[in-house]
Structure 1
Amino acid sequence: MHRLLPRLTLIGLLLAPAIQANAETDNTLLISANDRCAFERVNNDSLQLAIDTCISAADKGDMKAQYELGQLYFSGERVEQNYETALQWLEQASIQGEPRAQYRLGMMHFKGEGVQRNLPQAYVILKMASINGHDAAMDSADLVALQMNQQEMSAATHVLGTLFRDYLAQIREEQLSGTLKTEEPQLRPESNAEEIEELLE
C-alpha cells in the first residue's frame, strides 16, 4: 500500500488562485502558470527534453511539475501509459496539496486504476481535493460515499477528523508561538501516519 498523507493547504491554495494572464494569450513564447512543463506546446522531437526538464523541477519539489508528470503518464497520450510512474508523481503533488493531483489520485483509488480499489482512501483524498478548491471533487466524494458501507465510512470519517485535528493543533501552536505562516500550512509528519494508513487498508 502506498503511503499517502494529504496535506491541508486551506489558506495558501484557497486564497491564491492560479494566474490566468499568460493562459489567455496567443503568444506561444509565453507559458501559462497552469502549464509548468509545456508538454502540449512541444513537438515529439522536443518532448523528451521537456520531460527531462519537468522531472528536474519535480525532483526539486515543484508540485505543478509533479502533477503534470503524473497526468502525462496517467493519460498515456504522448508517452506509454504507466500507472506506477503516474502514481509516484501524483502522490508527491498531492502531499503538497495540489488539488488536481488529489482529484486524479482519488479517482484512481475509486476506480482501481493502477492501485487496488479503496473507497475510504478515495473518499478522503477527494475530500482533500475539494477543500483545496477542486470543483468536481465534492460531487465525486459523494458518489464514492454512496458505495461505501458503514465500516468504510466510519474509517474515512475518523481519518478526516484526525487530519483536521492535527491541522488545527498546528495552527494553534503557530499562533501561540507567533510563527503562523499564511502559505501552505503543513501537517506534522509525526501525526498518526501509521494509524491513518491502517484505517485505509
Structure 2
Amino acid sequence: MNRNPIMALLAIVLCMSLQAQDVDNDSILKSVEDYIYLGDLDRKESKRVFKQVKELSESGDAAATCLLGILYKDGIGTTLSFDRAREQFMAAHDMGNAKASYSLGYLYLKGLGNIPQDYTKAVEWFTISDHPMAKHWLAKMYYFGYGVPKDRRRALDILRNNTIYNSEVLLGQLENEEVVEDVMAQQDSENGELLETIAEDQGVSLPVPQTETATIPESITGSWKGQWVEMDWSGTQMIRNFPASLTVGEVSDAYGTVESTIQIGESSMTSEAIWRNGELTIFDGRITMEKQYTDHPDYTTLDYGLNSMSFTIGNIEGTDYLLGRLDTQVLDWSEPGPPMLLLLTQNGVPISEEALAAFAEQGDSFIKLYPNPFVNDLLIHYELETDAHVQVRLMDYYGGANVENVTSGFLRAGEHVHTISNGSLESGIYVIHVQVNDKVYTKLVIKR
C-alpha cells in the first residue's frame, strides 16, 4: 500500500528532472542561435559551440539536430558541408522538427552549395512543414508559379492564415498589386490592347531568335550599355530588369588589372578588377538594389557583393551582344544571389525581350564555387559527363605557385564536390585549376 505514493513521487521527480533538462537544453540552443545571429564568430568558440550542439543532438534532441545542420551549412565550428547539413535536417525532420523540414525546402529552393536547385522538392518540404516561414515561402511559390501552377488566390489565402509579421507585410503588398493589376487589365480590355511584360506568366515564353555560337571575348575595354536582368532561382524565368552600363579600362599590367565601373538602375560602383579568360573578377564590388517585394518595412533594399562576371559575345540578327553572367552574394544574408545577367551593346542598340530570352538560355561555367569570396572553407563543384582523370589544384594567382593539391585521380561521371579548408591561407586572389583529361578549366576566387 505504501509503495504507490513512493512510485508516484518518483515519477513526479523524474518528470520534473526531464522538464528541467528540456529547459536547460532549450537555453543552450537559444544561446547558440544568438551567437550565430550576432555574427561575431570566434574560431575557438565556434568549435566549442559545435561540440556542445553535437552532444545534444546525439542525445536525441530534435532541435539540436536541426541546429547541427545549420552549423554544417554555414561551416561554423566545423568543415562546411551541405551534404551533412541535409543529413541532419532529414534526421531532425524524422524526429518531428518543423524547422528542419523548412530548412530542407530552403536548400532546394535556392540550390545552396552543391544541393541541386529543385522547386518541386522545395514545395514538397514547405508543404510538409508547419514552420511559419515554410508557409511564407510556399505562398510565394504559388504566387509566382515556382514548381507549381501559378495560383495567386491560394497564395494570398496562405499568407492570411500565416500569423507572422513577415506574411502580414508581404500580404499587404501583394493585395495592393492585385488591385493595380485588375485596374490595368480593365483599361487594356476597354482599349483593346494587350499588355506584354517580362515573365508575365509561367509557361508563356517569348519567341527565341537564332543565336550564333557565343565566343569568349579577348577584350571588353570600353563603354557598354544595356540591361541588368534578375532571373528566378532556377535561372529559367526573367523576374525584372533595369538599365545598366559597364565601363572597363585598359589592362594595366601582366595580371590583367583593370578599372571597372558598373551602374545598375540608380546604384553604381567603381573597383579594380582582373580581366582573364573572359571573366572579370572584381576586388570590392557592391551594389544596393531595391527589393521587388519585402516582408519587413525597414528592409526594402539588399546589398549585393559583385564577385565576378563571366562574359561571352553572341550575335542575334546582325547585332553583337555582350552577355555577362554575374556571380553575386547577398551580403545581408551571407548567401549567393539569384542568377543575374548583363546584356550589353557598344553601339546603343536597344535590347529586345527576344534577345534577353535567347541569351538567358545559355549555360553556366563548368566550375562552381561556394562561397566566393571565402573565409575558411571553399566548396569546388563540377559535373563530369564521362569518366575522366581529374586534377584539382589551388594556385596563387600572382605567383603561379601551387598552394594546395585538392585531388588527383580517376573519377566517375557525375557531380563531384571538393572542400578546401584553410583558415590560415593569406588573403588574396587565387586560381582554382581543374584539369579533366587534357582540358583545363580555371576560375578565380577571392580569400578574405
TM-score (normalised: structure 2): 0.25
Please tell me whether the aligned partners of residues 156 and 171 of structure 2 are also in contact (alpha carbons under 8 angstroms): no
Shift of 1:144: 5.8
Q: For 1:81 and 1:121, how far apart are their aligned partners in 2?
A: 24
Unpaired segments ≥5 residues, structure 1: 1-17, 150-201
Cross-structure match for 2:146? 113
Q: Mind listing any 5+ residue stretches in structure 2 that lack a counterpart?
A: 1-28, 54-62, 183-448
1:74 aligns with 2:112: no
Shift of 1:107: 0.6
Counterparts in 2 of 1:148 and 1:56: CA distance versus 1, 3 Å: farther
Q: 1:84 aligns with which of 99, 110, 120?
A: 120
| 1:90 aligned partner, one-letter code | F
| 1:28 counterpart SS class | helix
Q: Could you tell me how far 1:84 is from its partner in structure 2?
A: 1.4
1:21 to 2:23 alignment: no
1:126 aligned counterpart, secondary structure: helix
Q: Secondary structure at the match of 2:142?
A: helix
Pick from 66, 74, 79 the counterpart of residue 40 of structure 1.
74
Q: Comparing both structures, which one devotes a greater share of its residues to helix?
A: 1
- In the alignment, residue 142 of structure 1 is paired with which amino acid? E
CA RMSD in angstroms, aligned pairs only: 3.1
Q: Deviations over 1:140-172 (max 9, x none)?
A: 4424643787xxxxxxxxxxxxxxxxxxxxxxx
8 Å Cα contact 1:74-1:86 kept in structure 2: yes
Q: 1:133 aligns with which of 157, 162, 165?
A: 165
User: Is the CA contact 1:70–1:89 (under 8 Å) kept in the aligned structure 2?
Assistant: yes
Deviation at 1:87, TM superposition (A): 1.0
Kindly tell me: are residues 140 and 106 of structure 1, through their superposed partners in 2, closer, same or farther at Cα, counting changes over 3 Å?
farther
Counterpart of 1:92, as a letter, is: I
Cα offset, 1:99, TM superposition: 2.1
Structure 1 or 2: more strand by fraction: 2
Q: Which structure has the larger Rg?
A: 2
C-alpha separation in 1, matches of 2:181 and 2:94 = 36
Report the CA distance between 1:57 and its aligned residue: 0.7
Q: Of 57, 60, 64, which residue of structure 1 is paired with 2:95?
A: 60
**What is the CA deviation profile of residues 11-34 of structure 1, one whole-angstrom value per residue up to 9, with x for unaligned ones?**
xxxxxxx9552222524243798x
Could you tell me which residue of structure 1 aligns to residue 237 of structure 2? Answer: none
TM-score with structure 1 setting the length: 0.53
Identity of aligned residues (%): 22
Q: Which residue of 2 aligns with 1:14?
A: none
Following the alignment from structure 1 to structure 2, what is the Cα–Cα distance between the partners of residues 43 and 115?
Answer: 35
Cα contact 2:141–2:147 (8 A) shared by 1: yes
